[in-house]
Amino acid sequence: MGTAYRVYRVDYLTKMKIPLGTVTERRSKQRGAESHFGLMKLARQMFATSPEDQVRIVVEEEPVA
């Protein structure tokens, strides 16, 4: 169907990434560098529990098999 990207919550005190889930890319073409912000915004809406938590949500650009 599409490419899945891993979503993590970064704990900046311990420098660890905590896996939360995946976001699926449905576009048939590759995203440009500026277009990755849309994918990040979607991940933050889905996985952030508070406004402060949105800053800690990151998306790995490496596709998940």
Q: Which residue has the higher pLDDT, 54 or 65?
A: 54
Higher per-residue pLDDT: 62 or 18? 18
pTM of the predicted model, to two decimals? 0.77
pLDDT of residue 34: 61
Say which residues have a Cβ less than 8 Å from residue 18's Cβ, sequence separation at least 6: 8, 9, 10, 11
pLDDT tens by residue, 4-61: 889 999 998 998 999 999 988 777 776 666 667 888 889 999 999 999 889 999 998 7
The answer to whether 43 touches 35, Cβ cutoff 8 Å, is no
Tokens 């790995």 -> residue: 60
CA distance 32 to 43: 17
